[in-house]
Amino acid sequence: MTSVAALVPYLGGALAVGGVAVAATRRRELIQRWCVWAVGVPLVTAAFWLGPPGIVVLAAVVAVVAVAEYGGLLRLGLPDRVVLGAAVAGLIVAAWLAPGEILRVAGIGALAIAAVPLFCGDAEHGLRRMGAGLLGLVWLGVLAGLVSLGALGLVLFVAVSVADIVAFAAGPRIGGPRLSPLSPAKRWSGTLAGAVAGLGVLALLSSFTWQAAVAVAIGGPLGDLLESMVKRGAGAKDAGRWLAGTGGLLDRIDSLLLALAVVLVLG
């Protein structure tokens, strides 16, 4: 499996080639997206380079931001968001310091999330708050898997990102049936083209296993649809607006989240 150090030339080359291609299109949205990648990719790579401490810090920061966006989509109050954020962060730290206790930590987090609406006496919205919190713990808690996966987590991030970009570009051009009513802009043709590109990345980076292949080809697109379902239920187009041209952080990691879950379950 490729090490983090061996990934650096590939990532740098991909950013350079992508920058030239994006500049040639002269599309403002794509240029903005490339600028975000140009800043984010080096930061993510540096965190993985530092090993578990860096990955824990990165995953915890991502988790806090994702919880804030998720809580905003589902209209969770501040107490719900704080407890959910603490529960997810606790899973990430446990994956580093006490991996044998991670199920116990998950159970404690689930009980804490369920307790918030109970102590508030919220009979009207308590069940919705509880369900949303527990879904958030399961969905965002898989970020803890980055700690144990190490460089493979970075490879998955690269593979699903490439798959997303190819699917976004190829789908409208190839045409064909839509993938799901949850995301009318996405088509089966684009998803299949993206899967091929993602699998090619795994092979190029010497990380092709059947588990990783299933994660990228199936888990990635399902993760995107899961977030689309959450956003449609909330009546929102994006999870946030602070990332230029890309919405929110949750919009960028939705495919990675379910890909991580698939690898952790199958691995």
Cα angle 258-7-257, degrees, rounded to a multiple of 5: 10
d(CA 219, CA 223): 6
Question: What is the mean pLDDT of the segment spanning 120-148?
Answer: 94
Tokens at 177, concatenated: 């049936």
- In sign, the C-alpha dihedral spanning 86, 127, 247, 52 is positive
pLDDT recorded at residue 94: 97
CA distances (Å), 46 to each of 13, 18, 170, 204, in order? Answer: 16, 20, 31, 21
Q: Which of 22-31, 140-149, 191-200, 230-239 has the lowest mean pLDDT?
A: 22-31
Averaged pLDDT score across all residues of the chain: 88
CA dihedral 180, 182, 185, 191 (to 10 degrees): -50
What angle do the packed helices 126-141 and 102-120 form, to 10 degrees?
160
Q: Percent of the chain at pLDDT above 90?
A: 55
Q: In the structure, what pLDDT confidence band is assigned to residue 19 with cuts at 50, 70 and 90?
A: confident
Question: Mean pLDDT, to the nearest integer, of 72-84?
Answer: 94
Q: What is the pTM of this model?
A: 0.90
- Spatial distance between the Cα atoms of 13 and 15, rounded to a whole number of angstroms: 5
pLDDT at 69: 94
Q: How far is 27 from 190, CA to CA, in rounded Å?
A: 20
Residues 84-108 have a mean pLDDT of 96
Say whether pLDDT at 89 is over 80.
yes
Q: What is the mean pLDDT of residues 97-101?
A: 94
pLDDT of 213 above 90: yes
Residue 21 has pLDDT above 80, yes or no: no
pLDDT band at 25 (very low <50, low <70, confident <90, very high): low
104 in Cβ contact with 97 (< 8 Å) = no
Question: How high is the pLDDT of residue 37?
Answer: 77
Q: What is the pLDDT of residue 6?
A: 81
Report the pLDDT value the prediction gives residue 58, as an integer from 0 to 100. 95
User: How many residues does the structure list for the chain?
Assistant: 267
Tell me the backbone φ, ψ of residue 187, rounded to 5 degrees: -125, 155
DSSP string, the chain: ---HHHHHHHHHHHHHHHHHHHHHHT-HHHHHHHHHHHHHHHHHHHHHHT-HHHHHHHHHHHHHHHHHHHHHHTT--HHHHHHHHHHHHHHHHHHHH-GGGHHHHHHHHHHHHHHHHHHHT-TTTHHHHHHHHHHHHHHHHGGGHHHHHTHHHHHHHHHHHHHHHHHHHHHHHH--SEEETTEEEEEHHHHHHHHHHHHHHHHHTT---HHHHHIIIIIHHHHHHHHHHHHHHHT-S-S-S-BTTTB-HHHHHHHHHHHHHHHHHH-
Q: In the prediction, which pLDDT does 241 show? A: 77
**Predicted pLDDT at 18:** 73
As a whole number, mean pLDDT of residues 198-212 equals: 91
140/261 Cα distance (integer angstroms):
10
pLDDT tens digits along 225-246: 999 899 988 888 878 777 766 6
Domain parsing of the chain, residue ranges = 55-147
Q: Which one-letter amino acid corresponds to residue 6?
A: A
> How do strand 183-187 and strand 178-180 relate by DSSP bridges?
antiparallel
